[in-house]
């Protein structure tokens, strides 16, 4: 399975949104794009450049980084402190109205602990895709540099 397959420019999964409590990032964003984006929170830019970019390169996508993230890594600890959650898609079978089945993708939000407890080989076997990263604004505000 190729991570990042789909539309050639991946623009459907490159977005940045926020509400009162959460920052949402589409998983096809690279760290370099996040750092260059003027809409990105200044403190988050500082955290990413000081901590995360010591483990990955700026052209690494959020999707790839979270897909292969190890439980004990510095990135895992950082994102745990930021109360990060991950929206994933997983294929499943659904019964049709007049018999038969079809394959659909079911989305759910999981914790970083849940995501990293599944090895990459198992994620690939099950067809799990990382779609979105959600960072708590309160945890970001409380994070000290």
For position 67, which CATH number holds? 3.30.465.10
50-74 residue pLDDT tens? 999 999 999 999 999 999 999 989 9
How far apart CA 6 and CA 2 sit, in angstroms, is 9
Using DSSP bridges, classify how beta strands 101-111 and 129-136 pair: parallel, antiparallel or unpaired.
unpaired
Look at residue 106 and tell me whether its pLDDT is greater than 50. yes
2-11 residue pLDDT tens? 444 444 555 6
Q: 5 vs 102, which has greater pLDDT? A: 102
Tell me, yes or no, whether 73 lies in a domain: yes
Record the pTM.
0.84
> How many domains does the chain fold into?
1
Sheet holding 22-26, edge to edge: 16-18, 22-26, 129-136, 85-95, 101-111
Tell me, yes or no, whether 6 lies in a domain: no
Tell me the two tokens of residue 9. 């420019």
- List the domain range (segments joined by +) for residue 38: 11-142
State the pLDDT confidence band at 16, using cuts at 50, 70 and 90.
very high
Region 92-111: what's the mean pLDDT?
88
pLDDT for residue 97: 82
Tell me the two tokens of residue 28. 């096809």
């Amino acid at each position: 399975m190729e991570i990042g397959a789909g539309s050639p420019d991946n623009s459907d999964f490159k977005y940045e949104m926020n509400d009162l409590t959460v920052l949402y990032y589409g998983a096809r964003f690279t760290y370099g794009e996040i750092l260059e984006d003027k809409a990105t929170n200044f403190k988050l830019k500082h955290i990413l450049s000081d901590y995360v970019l010591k483990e990955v390169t700026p052209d690494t996508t959020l999707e790839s980084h979270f897909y292969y993230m190890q439980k004990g890594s510095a990135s895992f600890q950082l994102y745990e402190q930021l109360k990060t959650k991950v929206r994933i898609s997983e294929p499943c079978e659904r019964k049709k109205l007049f018999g038969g089945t079809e394959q659909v993708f079911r989305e759910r939000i999981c914790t970083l602990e849940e995501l990293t407890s599944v090895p990459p080989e198992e994620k690939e076997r099950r067809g799990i895709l990382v779609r979105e990263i959600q960072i708590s604004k309160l945890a970001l505000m409380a994070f000290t540099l």
